[in-house]
């Protein structure tokens, strides 16, 4: 029997039930299927694909067409997991109309079930406009990678009284605007605990400690495949870099030596 899809109300209800939400990024069909089968609740088609898939320095060059392409691939591999498509830099910030148009495209063409937007108080009305049309929105506050130029790098946010108050105001504004969940990125764990207690919707942390309602990591980071940057919060749950290099190294050696392909992996006139 086909797996039942996790819905937005079910994800929102996990907070009150005290069930941790497990989110991971995915960018293609094969990884999406593996993560779905492993029990991941939410597959985030993150604009981090600009860095880990496209090899850019940051996420700013990612377009909506890139997001739709990858979201469509991921959606095909998600039997149970809920699929969220990130909205890339400047696709939604300039006007509510832009936000509605690209959010609709994420669902219609990208086959996602929700969109994610970075921003706090300043995008609350935009979130409201999209949610009012029936498109679920996941917020993203704290460290917002699309503001890397303004921050002067990927810096922890919300340290100190005023900065903490700003993150809390942003989180409350996003929740009040109708977001069904939000990512808390790169904030102190004490602040993440307070936000998680004070907002009614689930918080999903990355680099924000253990008190969030769920966690998200970039898949290539948790699998030990991406080493261009190595943030303190990343835990490697595997060393796939070594596994892949050793497997492909074995292939290289066997092709060069003529060991591969042997008769077992070849066809002959006689069917066997
Ligand atoms: O783009 C992304 O992968 C993200 C997560 C790191 C939260 O936004």
Q: Is residue 272 scored above 80 in pLDDT?
A: no
Alpha-carbon distance 63 to 1, whole Å? 37
Structure-model confidence comparison of residues 228 and 147, the more confident one: 147
The pairing of beta strand 42-45 with beta strand 21-25: parallel
pLDDT cut 70: percent of the chain above it: 99
* Structure confidence at residue 215 as a pLDDT band (50, 70, 90): very high
Pick the CATH number of 8-240 from 3.30.70.940, 3.40.50.620, 3.20.20.60, 3.40.50.300: 3.20.20.60
Per residue in 232-256, pLDDT (tens digit) is 999 999 999 999 999 999 999 999 9
Q: Is residue 228 scored above 70 in pLDDT?
A: yes
111 CA from centroid of ligand 1 (Å): 18
The answer to whether the CB of 183 is under 6 A from ligand 1 is: yes
The answer to whether the CB of 117 is under 6 A from ligand 1 is: no
> 184 by DSSP, 3-state: which?
strand
Q: What is the pLDDT of residue 234?
A: 95
**Region 121-142 average pLDDT:** 98
- Number of alpha helices (DSSP H) and beta strands (DSSP E) in the chain: 11, 8
206 CA from centroid of ligand 1 (Å): 8
CA separation, residue 169 to residues 12, 120, 174, 195 (Å)? 20, 8, 9, 9
Q: What is the pLDDT of residue 3?
A: 73
Q: What is the pLDDT of residue 229?
A: 79
Q: Using the Cα atoms of residue 66, residue 75, residue 109 and residue 92 in order, give the sign of their dihedral.
A: negative
**Region 69-74 average pLDDT:** 98
Alpha-carbon distance 101 to 92, whole Å? 8
Q: What is the pLDDT of residue 230?
A: 84
Q: What is the pLDDT of residue 169?
A: 98
Alpha-carbon distance 148 to 160, whole Å? 20
**Region 97-105 average pLDDT:** 98
Q: Is residue 270 scored above 90 in pLDDT?
A: no
Q: What is the pLDDT of residue 271?
A: 79
**Region 146-151 average pLDDT:** 96
Alpha-carbon distance 175 to 200, whole Å? 7
Name the residue among 54, 32, 58, 36 with its Cα closest to residue 45: 32
For the chain, the distance separating the N- and C-terminal CA atoms, rounded to the nearest angstrom, is: 34
Per residue in 167-205, pLDDT (tens digit) is 999 999 999 999 999 999 999 999 999 999 999 999 999
Per residue in 56-65, pLDDT (tens digit) is 999 999 999 9
246 CA from centroid of ligand 1 (Å): 29
Q: Going by CA atoms, what residue is nearest to atom 1 of ligand 1?
A: 46
Q: Is residue 266 scored above 80 in pLDDT?
A: yes
* Structure confidence at residue 149 as a pLDDT band (50, 70, 90): very high
Q: What is the pLDDT of residue 227?
A: 84
Catalytic residues: 185
Q: Is residue 1 scored above 60 in pLDDT?
A: no
Can you give the residue ranges of every domain in the chain?
A: 8-240
Q: What is the pLDDT of residue 2?
A: 62
Q: Going by CA atoms, what residue is nearest to atom 2 of ligand 1?
A: 46
């Amino acid at each position: 029997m086909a797996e039942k899809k996790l819905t937005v109300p079910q994800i929102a209800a996990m907070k009150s039930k005290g069930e941790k939400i497990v989110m991971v990024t995915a960018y293609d069909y094969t990884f999406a299927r593996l993560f779905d089968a492993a029990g991941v609740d939410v597959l985030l088609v993150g604009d981090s694909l600009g860095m880990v898939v496209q090899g850019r320095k940051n996420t700013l060059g990612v377009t909506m067409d890139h997001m739709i392409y990858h979201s469509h691939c991921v959606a095909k591999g998600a039997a149970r997991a809920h699929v969220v498509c990130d909205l890339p830099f400047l696709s939604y910030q300039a006007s509510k109309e832009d936000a509605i148009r690209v959010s609709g495209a994420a669902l219609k063409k990208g086959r996602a079930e929700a969109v994610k937007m970075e921003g706090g108080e300043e995008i609350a009305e935009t979130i409201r406009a999209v949610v009012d049309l029936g498109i679920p929105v996941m917020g993203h506050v704290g460290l917002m990678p699309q503001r890397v130029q303004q921050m002067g790098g990927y810096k922890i946010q919300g340290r100190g009284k005023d900065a903490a108050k700003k993150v809390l105001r942003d989180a409350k504004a996003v929740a009040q605007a109708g977001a069904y969940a939000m990512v808390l990125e790169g904030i102190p764990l004490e602040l993440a605990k307070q936000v998680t207690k004070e907002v009614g919707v689930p918080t999903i942390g990355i680099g924000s400690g253990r008190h969030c309602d769920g966690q998200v990591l970039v898949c290539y980071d948790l699998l030990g495949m991406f080493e261009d940057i190595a943030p303190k919060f990343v835990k490697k749950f595997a060393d796939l870099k070594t596994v892949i290099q050793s497997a492909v190294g074995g292939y290289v050696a066997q092709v060069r030596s003529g060991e591969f392909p042997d008769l077992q992996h070849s066809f002959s006139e006689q069917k066997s």
